[in-house]
Amino acid sequence: MELQVALIVMAIFLLAGTVKGVIGLGLPTVSLAGLSIFIELPAAVMLMVIPSAITNLWQAIDGPHFVELLRRFWLMLLASAIGVWFAYGLLLVTNPKAMTGVLGLTLCAYAAISLWGGRLVPRVTRERLASPWIGLTTGALAGATGSLVMPVVPYLQALELERAAFVQMLGISFTVSTVALGVAIVDHGAFDGEQALVSLVALVPALVGMQVGKQLRRRLSERVFRRCLFIGLLIIGLRLIWKGFY
């Protein structure tokens, strides 16, 4: 990897880590959105795996609800892992431009729902029936595009989980999807030594960014920051749609 590209990658993960430090999510989304502008989506997904897995694992175990959430959502998590496994092959055999466009659509949908207030999904009353399908769809999108947020984030919002449980469940869901994605990448022989090293090194700016974000959280209005973030993701998503389909 050229030095200029490597520096851009590190800067993107610093920004993505900062976003995660402020609002508790967004590292995979922001990193993929930024990386996809400079490199092809399959390569961007590979670089995202290690920073995303480690930071989300920390978020998953940092809280009192871990066992309770696993018991409640184990079927959704299993379905998500299965969806990732079967969908990842699409990322390798499909035109990367087309999958970049799909990622753009996913980002736009996520940003639009978040800007709307996250209440476009009605309160779920048949959770046991809905959860496996939400997990499977989330996994399929994660495997095909690398994006971990749709539709699991609005679904969990619709369940009206207590805030700490919601943030911890996001960490659990993102960890399962990222680990499944990493296993699929290795199984397909797509993760070479250089990419693994760059992904590991990218963990450093991601962790630094998280600490910066935690400090910024005390000084910034989270509401204003989230709005700026989702407007930015919406703009990037539109650009990726144009790049992928036109």
Query: What Rg do the C-alpha atoms of the chain give, in angstroms?
Result: 17
Burial class from Cβ neighbours inside 10 Å (0-12, 13-18, 19+) for residue 65 reads: middle
Q: How far apart are CA 52 and CA 68, in angstroms?
A: 23
| More confident call, 178 vs 145 | 178
8 A C-beta contact, residue 113 and residue 154: yes
Task: Average the pLDDT over each of 44-53, 69-78, 88-97 and give the range with the smallest value.
Answer: 88-97
pLDDT of residue 194: 84
Per-residue pLDDT of 199-235, as tens digits, reads 999 999 999 999 998 888 778 787 887 788 788 888 8
Please report, for the chain, the start and end positions of each structural domain, with discontinuous segments joined by +.
3-245
Is cis: bond before 151, omega within 30 of 0?
yes
What's the chain's average pLDDT?
Answer: 87
Beta-carbon neighbour count of residue 211 at 10 Å? 12
Percentage of the chain modeled with pLDDT above 90: 39
Per-residue pLDDT of 112-136, as tens digits, reads 888 876 555 556 668 889 999 999 9
pLDDT of residue 122: 57
Average pLDDT score over residue span 139-166: 87
8 A C-beta contact, residue 178 and residue 56: yes
pLDDT of residue 128: 87
pLDDT of residue 121: 55
